[in-house]
Structure 1
Amino acid sequence: MTDTQLREIALTTLDGKPTTLAELADGAALIVNVASKCGLTPQYSALEKIAQEYGDRGLTVIGVPCNQFMGQEPGTAEEIQTFCSTTYGVTFPLLEKTEVNGPDRHPLFAQLTKATDADGQAGDVQWNFEKFLLSPGGEVVKRFRPRTEPDAPEVVDAIEAVLPR
């Protein structure tokens, strides 16, 4: 699959509208599988900060709720949206609840999980808040495991590297 094709995979927003990465993000994208009841949920604050700080330069943060890790995203679309906006002030786009691993893995994650992390490991998403950085052309350029904070130096440096100066 080419990078352009990755940007054309059919997606659905949290409010049920069909879309694609190409429609959601003009430039680079940081795609993160998220959950509302996880020990890592406070990463929403840093994700929103990144979205605000780099949005004008062409970065779109995209949250993908997932309930595959100990049922930590049990809510309905409305509950997820309310939680994210009222608790963390999330303004970046959220997709519908999605399977990121296993036989029902969404085609987007079938492609994203081919990317390797800093240790050269590809494969299944380990847990909530795994992050995939896409270049403006749609290439997966970096993969960050869940415990890497969205505003960690290695994430910020990677974002800076794919954005126009």
Structure 2
Amino acid sequence: MNIFDVQVELPDATTTTMANWAGHCLLVVNTASECGYTPQLETLQELFEEYAQRGFFVIAQPCNQFGGQEPGSNQEIAQFCTRNFGVEFPILAKADVNGPHASALFQALKGSGPDIAWNFEKFVVSPEGEVVGRFDSATQPDDMAIINLLEEYLPV
């Protein structure tokens, strides 16, 4: 299945598909507001600002499965991200990323790969909807391995 065919829920409880971002290079991240990795939101926003004009989006999927570190409502999460980190990239509705109730997006991103280990795992998706990279939580969003992969898939 192509990632862009996947249905997602927005914070206002409406549904859409990832087709909204078809043809764009994506960095999809499971996020949490009370995690030690939460400051990565600032770097994710900086990446979004730097590469948006070339067809790049960061997509956040808040998740409360790891240590209960995302207890807020969808509205509270969005306000927190905007107020504290200036986040302007899309934030989806809070959802599970592992287990029987995992979001369709994260089921597609993981494919037959291992479960998500913690908050802030990152997936690079090509403009054609193929997962081309997966990075663990400790990998900073501006790590050269991620930047080089983005550069490979973004137009000049």
**Does TM, scored on the shorter chain, surpass 0.5?**
yes
**Counterpart of 1:15 in 2: which secondary structure?**
coil
Structure 1: distance between partners of 2:71 and 2:22: 27
Match of 1:118 in 2: none
Residues 34, 64 of structure 1: 8 Å contact kept: yes
Residues 4, 21 of structure 2: 8 Å contact kept: no
Match of 2:122 in 1: 131
Structure 2: distance between partners of 1:22 and 1:56: 18
Map 1:137-152 onto structure 2 (within 5 A).
Answer: 137-152=128-143
Paired letter, 2:114: G
Q: Which has the higher contact order (CA 8 A, sep 6+)?
A: 2
Structure 1: distance between partners of 2:54 and 2:4: 19
Structure 2: distance between partners of 1:161 and 1:68: 32
Match of 1:36 in 2: 33
- Find out whether 1:99 has 2:129 as its counterpart: no
Paired letter, 2:133: K
Q: CA deviation at 1:131?
A: 0.4
- In structure 2, stretches of 5+ residues that fail to align are none
**Counterpart of 2:141 in 1: which secondary structure?**
coil
Q: Number of paired residues?
A: 156
Structure 2: distance between partners of 1:59 and 1:17: 23
Q: CA RMSD in A?
A: 1.2
Displacement over 3 Å in runs of 4+: none
Structure 1: distance between partners of 2:53 and 2:10: 22
Query: Matched residues, percent identical?
Result: 46
- Find out whether 1:163 has 2:154 as its counterpart: yes
Residues 25, 60 of structure 1: 8 Å contact kept: no
CA deviation string 1:95-124 (max 9, x = no partner): 000110011111211121127xxxxxx310
Is 19-28 or 104-113 further displaced after alignment? 19-28
**Counterpart of 2:139 in 1: which secondary structure?**
coil
- In structure 1, stretches of 5+ residues that fail to align are 116-121
**Counterpart of 1:7 in 2: which secondary structure?**
helix
TM-score (norm 2): 0.96
- Find out whether 1:88 has 2:85 as its counterpart: yes
CA deviation string 1:40-79 (max 9, x = no partner): 0000000000100011001110000000001000001111
Structure 1: distance between partners of 2:22 and 2:79: 23
Match of 1:47 in 2: 44
CA deviation string 1:12-47 (max 9, x = no partner): 112223221111454111100000000000000000
